[in-house]
Every structure is written in C-alpha cells, then in structure tokens.
Amino acid sequence: MRITFSQLLIAFTFTSMSYAGTADGQTILDRQVDLSVRSISLEKVLKKLEKSADVKFIYSNSIIDANQKVSVNAQGEMLKAVLDRLLLPKNIRYRVVNDCIALSYDELNGPVRAPVPALEDHISVVAPRLVVTGIVSDPGGNKLVGVTVQSKAGRKGTVTDAGGRYSLEVSNANDTLIFTYIGYNRLEVPLAGKTTLDVVIEPNTQSLNDVVVVGYGTQKRKDLTGSISTISSKTIERGNPVSPLQALQGQAAGINIAKTSSLPGADFQIDIRGLGSINYDNAPLVVIDGNMGGDLNTLNPSDIASIDVLKDASATAIYGSRGANGVIIVTTKQGVAGTIRITYDAYVGMRKAAHLPNMQNAQQWAAANPNATLTSTEEAMIADGKSTDWIDLITRSAAMQTNHVLAASGGTEKVNYYFSAGYLNQDGLTRGINYKRYTLNGNISTQLNKVLRAGFNTNFAYSVQNTGSMETIRSAFRARPTGVPYYDEVLNVSESNDVEFKGYALWMGINDHQVINPLVEAYDGNQILETKLSRFNARGFVELTPMKGLSIRSSLSTFVYGTGIGDYRGTFTKTNLGTAKPTASHETQTQTSYTLDNLLTYKLNLASHSIHFTALQSAYKRRDEQYKISVKDLPYESKWHNLGSAGTIVSIGSDLMERALLSYMGRLNYGFKDKYLLTLTGRWDGASQLADGHKWGFFPSAAFAWRLVDEPFIRNLGVFSDMKLRISYGLVGNNVVPPYGTKATLANTGYDFDGSAAFGFAPASIANRELGWEKSREVDLGLNVAFLNGRIAADIDVYKRNTLDLIVEQQLPTSTGFGNVITNIGKVQNKGVEVTLNTVNLQSKDFKWRTTINFSTNRNEILELYGGNSTADVGNNLFVGQPLMANYDYKFAGIWQTADSTEALKYKQKAGTVRVIDQNNDGKITADEDRVILGSQQPKWMAGILNTFNYRNWDLSFMVYTRQGAQFRNAMISGTMGEIGKGRYNALALNYWTADNPTNDYYALNNPGPYRAAIFYQDASYWRVTDITLGYVVPPATLKRLKIGSLRVYGQIMNPFVFTNFISFDPEYNSSTYKDDLPSVNFTFGVNASF
C-alpha cells in the first residue's frame, strides 16, 4: 500500500498518541508466513507478505526504495524473523502501528529519493530487539518439550518445542528468564548480556516451589500446613482417561473412587477419608477454576492443568459446609504470553469384552436341571451338542471409541487466553449402547491497567447416553443356552407359543416366558433409554490492586444443568411381552445456581515475618426443578415425542426445591523465617435447610507446620533435602438435609365418602424444629520428607475425624403414624494412615525410571446411635462399633457333607445344603443369636503403583491399583444366575455339590436349604493392571520438515489384567447385570501434537 509522506506523518502522530493502548504488536510479528521468491522488487515481496500474514505495510516511496530486487525463502517462519532477514541488512527498520507495520531507514545516507529532514521528529524508531535462544534439558541430557520460558521484566513467554528449543524476545540484556515445568524445580537465570542460554532444570517429584491451589488462593508446596494431594496434567494425560475421576483413581492416597457400572458415560462414586454421613451424600465439593459445585464429567481431561485434593479439616475449612466431605480443586490450562500455541490430542481404539464370569452351556444346564420341562427345540440342541451363547450374540465384536481435543492458547503481556473443543464417541460392547460427549472450554484474563485485572472462564458439555434396553445383558445371562435365536430354527412353534419379530423367535423355542430373546431386547429402536445432559458453568471476576500487597476481588459464578431422560418400550419388550402397546415416559431436570464471592487479600513481608490475610463474603443460591410424565398404549412407535397420543396417562409429577447459603470467612497465614508456619481459619455459614434458630454455625480450624530441614541440627546431617512436620485441627459442618427436611409435609391420600372415591391430603412427615448442623472434628498429623535432592520423597499423614450430630432418618414407632423423622442423632469416626512415596530409581543420560506409590487405610466406625439409646438398627444395617455399609447375616461355614448327616439333622439340614455357624452353640440357628457382622462394603486399604520408564525418545509406563477388604453381597449369585438346578434360568458355571463332587464351594442342585443367603457374601478384593502405555516422541529434525512443533505417538492397553476371587463383571462395583454393559479391555492408539 503506497502512501504519501504526509499520510505517513499522520499515521505516526496518531500512533504516538495512542501507543499506550497498543499491546498487540508482538502477536502480529509472531504470525507464520510461507514465501519463496527470487529477484523481485521489494514492493511485490511486501504485497505477498501482506497476503500471507494478513497485515498492511506503511511506507513512502520517497523514503524507501521499493523497486530494489530482493529474494526471500521462508517456510513456516515467524514474520519478525523474515523481516529481520529481509530489511535489517538494508538498514530498513520497522515498527508495528496498530494493525500495520511502518517502514523507515535506519540512517539517512541510504538510497533516499527525496530529503526528509523532519522525519525523525515524527517517527519513533524501533529499538533494536534482543532475542534469546537456547535449549532446555534435564540432568540426563534429555530435551524437554513444553517447558514454559518467561521474561521476568517483560512478562513475555514461550514454550519449548520437541527439541527443547526456545526463542524469546526480551526487553533488555540484563533481564532474567524463568523456566517452569511440571515435575521439575523452577529455575531463574539472569541473562547478563547473553543471547544464547542453554539450561538444565532439576526434576523433583514434588517440587517445594510448585504452586498448590488451596482455596481462594495459592501457596508454595513448602508453605503448606494442611493435607493436600496434587495430580499434574502430565499424570492425567498419561492415563488417557475418559473422565477426570477415572484419572484420579489410584493417584492420591485417601481417595476412594469406584465406577458404578460398565456403561460408557457412567459416573463414579467418590469419598475422601471414609464415609461420614449415613443417609446422605458423601461426595466432595468440586471447584473448577474457582467455580464451586462443578461436575467433573463436564471436563475434558486434556483441558486440566492440575487437580488439588484438600483432605483435612484445616484445608477444607475455608469452604465451610460445602467442603465438609473434602474438596477437589480443578485448575484448567491457561495461556501464556508469546506465540499462539495449537495443540491436538486424539486417540482411536476399540474395546473387547473381557473378564466375564463363566455361564453354563446347554449340556451343563441340562445336567443341572434334569427335571426341567423342555421343548423339542431344546431337546434337539442338547442331543446335537449345540449351545447358544446369548452373551456372544448381543456383543459387538469390537466396540470403537475415539476422542479429539483441539486447543489454542497464547497471549500478550496483558492478555492470556485458552480455548478448546472436544469430541468423544464411545460405543458400548452391547448392541444399542453408545455415549457421545461434546465439550467447549475457554478462559481469558487481562491486565486492564496497573491496578485492575479481569477474567472470564466458561465450560460447556453436552452428552448423549443411549443404554438401549436395560434388560439386554440380564436377559443374555438368564436365557437358557438350550434356546435358539431365530424363528425358523424353532421346531414346534406351538410348544413355546413363539412369536416372530424381525426374524427372531420372541421366546427362543422355550416354554417359559420369563425371558425375552436378548436379540429382540437389543434390536435397534425396540427399547430406548436416552439420557441427554447439558452442563454449563461460567465465572467472571474483577480484581483491584490499589496498593502493593492488597487485592480486592469480586466474582460471580453460575451453573446451569439440564437433564432429559426419555424411556420408550415397544410391544416386543419385557414390559409389554409382545402383546401390549408401547409405553413411554420423559423426565426433565434442571438445576441453576449462582455463587457471589467478595474476596479481600493482604500480603505483608517484614524482615523475617510474612503475613497473608484473606477475608471472604459469599452468597450461594440453588434451584432444582423436575417434571415427569409416563404413558402407555401409544398408537405407534413415537418414542416420547408424542405422549399426547397415548391412550392412558399413567402418572404426571413435578417438583421444586430451593436452597441458599450465606457465608463469612477469615483466614490468616503467618510465617516466621519461612520455617514456622501457622494458618488460622474461621467460617460462619447460614443454611436455609436447617431449622430456625439452628441455621448458623461457626467452624474454626488451625494448622501449624515446622520446616525442620531449615534447622541446623537437621540440615547439618546432610541427609534430608526436605523435612516438614504438620499438625492441624478443624471443625467443619455439613447441611446435607434436603431443603424442606425440617418441615411437616402433606401427601395425597384416598378417602371414601359414602361409597364415592375422593382424594385429599394427610400429614406425611412431622417437623423437627431442632434440626441443626452435622459437625466433624478432625485432627491430622503429617510429615513431608525427602532425600537425595528429592529423588526419594514421602508424604505421611495420620488422621482421626469424629462426625457428631449425624443427620439421620430415625425410624419411629408405627403408633405415631409416621415412618421416620430427620434428626441429629449419632456419631461416626474415621481414622487412618496415608502414605505417598515418589522415587527416581535410576537416572542416566538416556534412561530414567520413576515410581510413585500411594497407600491408605481407613477404619470407619459408628460410635453412637440415637443418642446412645440403641446399639443396633438391624433394619438399616447400623451397628455401634461397626463400620457403615456393614453386612449382617449368618456366617457361611461350607456345605453339609454326607459324613456330617447326623449333625446336620440336629439343625434340620441334610447333605448338600448351606452350612452356617452356630455362634452360641445352642444347637439351633436363630436370627437374634447367630447373625453376625461379616464385613463391610468399604475397603480396608487401597494402593496405587505407577512406574514410568524413559529411554531417549521412548516412554513406557504401567499403573497397578488395588482395593482390599471390601465385601459385597454378590448381586449375580443372589439373583437368578446363582439358582443352580431350579429349572428356569441359566446359571453361573459354579462348582456345585453332588455326592460324587463333595465340594464346599456351592450347594447341591436346587437344594440350598434355608440359609442360602450366607453364600452370597464374597470378598471383593482385587489387583488391577489399570493400563500399559508405550509412547514415542518424534525427533525435532523430522518435525521441522513437517512444520510441527512437537509430536508424541502412543499405544495403550487399558484394564488388561484383573486378579480377584469375586464372581461378577468387575469387583469394583456389584453388578446385577441390569442396566449395565460388559467389562472390557481397551486397545488405543493416540497422538499428542503441538504447532
């Protein structure tokens, strides 16, 4: 673009007036260009650069000789590098003017066409730029990818490429560069005039200078006084999880995470340091980028920078009642000043059915059911040695899954940003099951001026889970292997009264109509259960820093959750048995909430003293709405989209709940010589759910830490690189009661007025005007210690938490006319030990082997029930001195054998039946005297072991996880699949008792005796190889030709080995096969790339 000299002067004049607001020059110069020309005019080259970089050049032909011939060869280079090479040798300087680049001569003795005596009065010549380059390595010489390099003075930054290289423009030759990388010590290096700076950063499995999010603020790890576990993005991404909770499992001590089913998209159960509430939720609070009450399933794991888990009362106290069960703080990735960085993370793989329990084949079933009534079809199957594997028929040969995440991040000195989009598609192993998730994530922060900063972050997730028929798998496990899938295979239709559906035999040639053909259940569109979830959360903040050390921040957070559940069941389903018209229902749930936080912080350092004060006022409000309609006799297959056409409305319902919480908090952090650290916290919470006069509670906590390693008597030993002793005490409250739990309620009831039916209302529950806070007092003693410059580091915590005034649904005598009342009665205790060990086992130039081990054990015990007036509530499985979720029944003692027939007769039993222990040896089995506590569904201890090996560009890792001591009342054995010899359903291939096989494993055919339930209880302990992952980082030389910054490819096997004696799908949860999918082993191939 040619302009006159006067236009140039005007442009530069306005630029000098508005220069203070221009902050985007570096971004323009960082744009990539592709250009290769030889011996053409400078004017043409500039026009080509304008198109390639989307920028305009400002210059005057009276100053710049635009006809001179030049050559340029640039492939994927930054614009500033091209301009340096093109213009500086010709003494032409340039500077960014808004969205343009202005050119002028360095000296006036060049080939100027006209004199410009006043030019320098109007043009600010660009100061010579100083670019520092270098390579970042670890002590073994391995080049590190993704290290953040920042200028301390100019606040600019960049990241290293696949070869560990960086290039950063700095403001002056005496600047200082800051190098940070997860898992490594922070490093600051003065330039001292250097333009090339290669550095080596030291690894530390838990760097003492790492920043940890502690709730309404951050602290360096060395300054922590509470019990906090941190999981880095590197650890999360290595596991390649679908859900962040899956990534947490086995990675932090004291966190018990278990899936609830094998369905794609299924949620996880989680508790921290045991169960504290009896009737209500024990899940921790989730905080996503400061937004409280989040859902981890809304996040794509690739977007997470770190997860911090607050476990003890002193750490969670700042969140008050909302953090009573622990707090999980998620920090998503942020942009850094410098070049725009594009990342792409993707994988594709398949899932194969694995770890399935064995079922009987046709011949085994016939032998176990000699008196069963069979059709000719079944008899022919048995005689011909054939058997139908229904599980195999409803299972996909390979269920595909894929995940893609594209992200862009970057920033300037004043603005940082990060945006990402993700897509997940996961097929179930069973036909008709699928899960899709779409995610959008973004955050931006800006320094508006010296005292004002603002930011905004948001996350949106939309998912669709199709579970098909909830009966498909259960039918496949129940259906006799003697049946046939197709209608034309049925030898005599009249024997089974079979019906044809799409070529399938509805009753499989079997004369028992309790199970429908699993292939009919799984048929596309025959039965649909679809759950659509939309999760939106956003948070905006404004922060004012009027003076050094003082910060005032206001933030508004909001959540909008929507759930739509559609359930359609066609004629040929178990619900309608091939005769009734279709049924359908639709349920809508919405949850909206907001949190307004006003936060003041003040930091002051005086000589050896450091003071950090935090004050907070917070207001929270939540609204839940629910609507549901169920119908039957639909005239056609309209699913739930035309419920008004139904012949019969079964039910209509709606609900509304509102709750609010008002809070005030103060926290003081004091340090003396960075060696003696004290944290005091107090929080006042007022909850709308609680009774008048009991709504407010005050919850204080205190924690002290002593950095022993800074004491001469420890430091002079030359053994420890870190040692810190921690002790804390805190009181937290829990308001888990439903919003109207303290109120008396009414319910619909029927009346008879002189033979005419009528409906009215009657009291449904009684009020409790004394209902108050459930409180937990916790003490924690911790030790952090490290040896050999951090190559061996351990964190050890011992804790005890007593939960008082438990909010319990107390059962009432029937004479009152009510079933129960919500009240504060009971005490529960959790006490345990947590150990985390990080080691660098071997390290050389080319090879490194690291191990992380975490171990935790927790003892849960009920201390008191109903004010001490009861030691047992058998109906609710609550027993003083025993854990929650206890199993109470007769104790299995094997199977009565033929040799014990005489003794068996004393108990009215016979050989082959289940034998139980006569606890008081009175010669009879009674419920009151002989039932005992058998175990608990809670594990006694858990551990995770992660080994990581690096050899040059290769990395290999594998994760092992174990839960020991949990006991389940096996849902498969207690159901029809455990009924061997009953003649109706198929059963597990168990080692059952016969006269010729006098086993103690399982009872005789159709002869369990009265104590069959005793055999249901099984130890659900297991060891699992969670994953084996092999990766390769492509060398930089190869990537340079491909114009890629970094590239890692990997292969992964998930869930390859499970070692357990528990007979079911998965010992992690107790499956009944209803509304579930099959367990699997996953094979995945993926890439992590940056540009």
Give the tokens for residue 588: 């809508």
- DSSP secondary structure code for residue 918 in this structure: -
In a domain, 907, yes or no: no
- Residues of the chain by 3-state class (helix, strand, coil), percent to 5: 15, 50, 35
79-87 vs 42-53: helix axis angle to the nearest 10?
A: 170
Give exposure, 367-387, as e/b (b: 16+ Cβ within 10 Å): ebbeebebbebbebbbeeeeb
Count of Cβ atoms closer than 10 Å to residue 449 Cβ: 9
In a domain, 984, yes or no: no
Element (H, E) at 380: helix 376-383
In a domain, 904, yes or no: no
Q: 89: which residues sit within 8 A by CB, 6+ positions away?
A: none
Same domain? For 77 and 142 the reply is: no
* pLDDT tens track for 621-632: 999 999 999 999
User: What are 1063's strand-pairing partners?
Assistant: none
Same domain? For 564 and 620 the reply is: yes
For residue 114, is pLDDT > 60?
A: no
Count of residues in the chain: 1091
pLDDT of residue 984: 92
For residue 239, is pLDDT > 70?
A: yes
Report the SS3 class of residue 934.
Answer: strand
Q: What is the average pLDDT score of the chain?
A: 87
* pLDDT tens track for 1006-1050: 999 999 999 999 999 999 999 999 999 988 878 877 778 889 999
Same domain? For 559 and 678 the reply is: yes
Give the tokens for residue 637: 């297959």
Same domain? For 404 and 334 the reply is: no
pLDDT of residue 3: 42
CATH code where residue 80 lies: 3.55.50.30
Same domain? For 153 and 31 the reply is: no
In a domain, 902, yes or no: no
Same domain? For 49 and 31 the reply is: yes
Dihedral sign (CA 103, 109, 115, 118): positive
Same domain? For 170 and 24 the reply is: no
Q: Calculate mean pLDDT across residues 124-139.
A: 73
* pLDDT tens track for 151-210: 887 667 787 877 788 888 887 888 889 888 766 777 889 998 888 999 998 766 455 555
More confident position, 41 or 1081: 1081
User: What are 932's strand-pairing partners?
Assistant: 889
- Domain endpoint, select from 176, 200, 224: 200
pTM for the model stands at 0.80
User: What are 916's strand-pairing partners?
Assistant: 892
Cβ distance 138 to 203 under 8 Å?
yes
Cβ distance 635 to 690 under 8 Å?
no
Q: Calculate mean pLDDT across residues 731-746.
A: 85
Q: How far is CA 508 from CA 219, 468, 518, 979, in A?
A: 66, 20, 9, 21
Q: Give the C-alpha separation, 333 to 44, whole Å.
A: 42
* pLDDT tens track for 586-631: 999 999 999 999 999 999 998 899 999 999 999 999 999 999 999 9
pLDDT of residue 210: 59
Give exposure, 5-16, as e/b (b: 16+ Cβ within 10 Å): beebbebbeebe
Q: 174: which residues sit within 8 A by CB, 6+ positions away?
A: 190, 191, 192, 193
Same domain? For 541 and 409 the reply is: yes
pLDDT of residue 13: 35
Q: Give the C-alpha separation, 869 to 610, whole Å.
A: 51
- DSSP secondary structure code for residue 954 in this structure: E
For residue 12, is pLDDT > 50?
A: no
Q: Give the C-alpha separation, 487 to 21, whole Å.
A: 78
Cβ distance 239 to 250 under 8 Å?
no
pLDDT of residue 1091: 86
For 169, how many CA atoms within 13 A lie in the half-sphere containing its CB?
Answer: 16
Cβ distance 941 to 855 under 8 Å?
yes
For residue 795, is pLDDT > 70?
A: yes
- Domain endpoint, select from 308, 339, 370: 339
CATH code where residue 467 lies: 2.40.170.20
* pLDDT tens track for 555-590: 999 999 999 999 999 999 999 999 999 999 999 999
* pLDDT tens track for 344-397: 999 999 999 999 999 999 999 999 999 999 999 999 999 999 999 999 999 998
In SS3 terms, 632-679 reads as ECCCCCCCCCCHHHCCEEEEEEEEEEEEEEEEEEEEEEEEECCCEEEE
pLDDT of residue 182: 63
Report the SS3 class of residue 928.
Answer: helix
Give the tokens for residue 822: 């919500």
Cβ distance 940 to 987 under 8 Å?
no
Q: How confident is the model at residue 4 (pLDDT cuts 50, 70, 90)?
A: very low
Q: How confident is the model at residue 248 (pLDDT cuts 50, 70, 90)?
A: confident
Q: 229: which residues sit within 8 A by CB, 6+ positions away?
A: 252, 253, 254, 255, 308, 309, 311, 795, 836
Same domain? For 137 and 123 the reply is: no
Q: Calculate mean pLDDT across residues 244-261.
A: 90
Nearest alpha carbon to residue 505 among 394, 577, 516 = 516
For residue 989, is pLDDT > 90?
A: yes
More confident position, 260 or 120: 260
Q: How confident is the model at residue 827 (pLDDT cuts 50, 70, 90)?
A: very high
Q: How confident is the model at residue 27 (pLDDT cuts 50, 70, 90)?
A: low
Same domain? For 671 and 732 the reply is: yes
The proportion of the chain whose per-residue pLDDT surpasses 90, expressed as a percent, equals 58
In a domain, 216, yes or no: no
Q: 682: which residues sit within 8 A by CB, 6+ positions away?
A: 317, 665, 666, 667, 698, 699, 700, 701
- DSSP secondary structure code for residue 451 in this structure: S
The proportion of the chain whose per-residue pLDDT surpasses 70, expressed as a percent, equals 93
pLDDT of residue 430: 94
In a domain, 996, yes or no: no
Q: Give the C-alpha separation, 628 to 616, whole Å.
A: 40
In a domain, 983, yes or no: no
Nearest alpha carbon to residue 661 among 617, 722, 602 = 617
* pLDDT tens track for 851-903: 999 999 999 999 998 878 889 988 888 999 999 999 999 999 999 999 999 99
* Amino acid (one-letter) located at 787: F
- Domain endpoint, select from 339, 361, 394: 339
User: What are 993's strand-pairing partners?
Assistant: 1004
Give the tokens for residue 667: 């926290």
Give the tokens for residue 673: 């010589």
Range of the domain at 247: 232-339
For residue 479, is pLDDT > 60?
A: yes
Count of Cβ atoms closer than 10 Å to residue 210 Cβ: 21
> How many domains in the chain?
4
For residue 124, is pLDDT > 70?
A: no
Give the tokens for residue 168: 């950063």
Same domain? For 355 and 441 the reply is: yes
More confident position, 488 or 70: 488
Q: 563: which residues sit within 8 A by CB, 6+ positions away?
A: 531, 532, 533, 534, 587, 588, 589, 590
pLDDT of residue 121: 41
More confident position, 250 or 281: 250
pLDDT of residue 934: 97
Same domain? For 143 and 11 the reply is: no
Report the largest interatomic distance among the alpha carbons of the chain, rounded to a whole angstrom. Answer: 125
Nearest alpha carbon to residue 221 among 668, 665, 719, 795 = 795
In a domain, 207, yes or no: no
Torsion from C-alpha of 83, 87, 88, 89, nearest 10 degrees: 130
CATH code where residue 177 lies: 2.60.40.1120
For residue 308, is pLDDT > 70?
A: yes
CATH code where residue 236 lies: 2.170.130.10
Q: 407: which residues sit within 8 A by CB, 6+ positions away?
A: 302, 303, 333, 342, 343, 344, 345, 418, 419, 420, 421
| Range list of H helices, 188-312 | 233-239, 244-248
More confident position, 819 or 920: 920
- What is the C-alpha radius of gyration for the chain, rounded to an integer number of angstroms? 35
